[in-house]
Amino acid sequence: MDASTIILGFTGSIGSGCSFIAKTIPSIAEKEYKYFKLSDIIRDILRDEGNTNPSVSELQDKGNELRAKNQQGYLVKKLLEKINTDPDIKDETEIIIDGIKNEGEVQTLKQFPFFYLFSIHSDSSLRQKRYEKDGIITEAEQFYKIDTRDRLEEFSYGQQVKKCNYLSDIIILNNQEFASADQQGKQAFIRGIYRKYVRLVELLKSGQKSAEHNPSVDELCMTTAYALSRMSSCLKRKVGAVIINKKASEQQSNTHNAAGLIETLPCIVSSGYNEVPLGSHKCIFHPDFQMCYRDHLQEMHARKFKHCPECGNEIGDVSITCPKCGKSYNGYKKFCPVCQIELEDNFKCESCSSELFKEFLPGEKKSPGKLLDMCRALHAEENALLNLVNYNNSNNDHLELYVTTQPCNLCANKIVSAGIKKVIFEEPYLMKESSDILRSGNVTVERFEGVKSSAFFKLYQQ
């Protein structure tokens, strides 16, 4: 295996169908692919220790242990060693690596120029149903526990599917249910993935051009939204949004596909990104706090803690040290002004072991209200909707919103009132109220599928 080898990585939450897609690609691909699964490295180690049939939890525990003892990319490095000594791997053989779970595993593979990470997504209810059907779990609570842990553990060596999804290059939606005997349907689904995305990587490696591999409207609009998000000064999450008029797009279309047929050229009528109102200091430059305003509020609130809210016992001295620069702070500190990074604090009450600052500060687990409500900034969707004021909105029935992050409930209210009929988002934001508002307002909500902005210009450079 050399630097020109194509490496297709696959990540996704449990039950998303990651392995189903990754395993099937070699059978329909025009080039030779060899399939590997990262968890097989863990299984081999457990087998040597006498555990021949590990549970999902045992695999998670062992994977965490190996990454903690060695480094975050340990499993990938062990797999690469195995690949490089495999006599069946030829120079022209391409590689598929399934079951990527940690950010360090992604970063280790990014050293290869033809590494692309596929992120597979399915609805939670469907993923649970698949696990139950396969006999991996027997009850919903068991699935929820495994899935929650799999998505994002707080320590760096843990399960981090959420972070891996963020680092991915291509998003695939797998919400189809195939009957066990429907091999034709399954093959057609995988062929679609191969033709649209895997073949694109193969052509890039060979230096060939393809008139049929052009960005979709969704990919173009979402990449534009991500470009806008870079304008945001937000220290937490940069979000971009664009609004297109689908009807105007169809009327003004002047692009052609490989068959010479006219395609839709998106007509962008408004855009926005999350930012404080005009005339206000950006949080990082604010003379009173120079940090995220929500972090500032939490620090101020934490100073009032003299007794544990859970057991009532007195709280002693608290000291927090920045892991990057080593600077120590007396009292609770959420943000290091030297390194400009958020600090993780594990302070626990000595009497009841409550994680004081992770549970009782505003917006945390045991505190009422949402910290989002305290943000000083207008959201990207709000700015895009406000910019519609200068647009002749006689065709509001045809407006569609592309946004990098799923709208919150406050933005959902405004989206419905503005007459937006469709929302396409990339990063999920788990807020049930938002989905309910949009559904009640007859707004179609879709998860983005396709090439992400991080790989857009690389894959579509022909």
Q: Per-residue pLDDT for 263 more than 60?
A: no
Q: Per-residue pLDDT for 353 more than 90?
A: no
Name the DSSP class of 272.
Answer: E
Residue 411: what pLDDT? 94
CA 5 to chain CA centroid, Å, is 26
Residue 254: what pLDDT? 47
**What do you get for the CA distance between the two ends of the chain, in Å?**
25
Instruction: Please state, in angstroms and rounded to a whole number, the distance separating the CA atoms of residues 9 and 130.
Output: 22
**pTM, to two decimals:** 0.85
Residue 181: what pLDDT? 79
Residue 384 in contact with residue 360, Cβ under 8 Å?
no
Percentage above 90 pLDDT, the chain: 54
Q: Per-residue pLDDT for 156 more than 50?
A: yes
Residue 199: what pLDDT? 94
DSSP codes joined into one string, 378-431: BPHHHHHHHGGGGS-GGGGGGEEEEEEE---HHHHHHHHHTT--EEEEEE----
- Of 251-260, 341-350, 365-374, which gets the smallest average pLDDT? 251-260
Confidence of residue 403 (pLDDT cuts 50, 70, 90): very high
| Residues 6 or more apart in contact with residue 256 via CB below 8 angstroms | 262, 263
Residue 51: what pLDDT? 94
Q: Per-residue pLDDT for 217 more than 50?
A: yes
pLDDT (mean) for 302-311: 86
Q: What is the pLDDT of residues 29-53, one digit of tens each?
A: 999 999 999 999 999 999 999 999 9
Residue 34: what pLDDT? 96
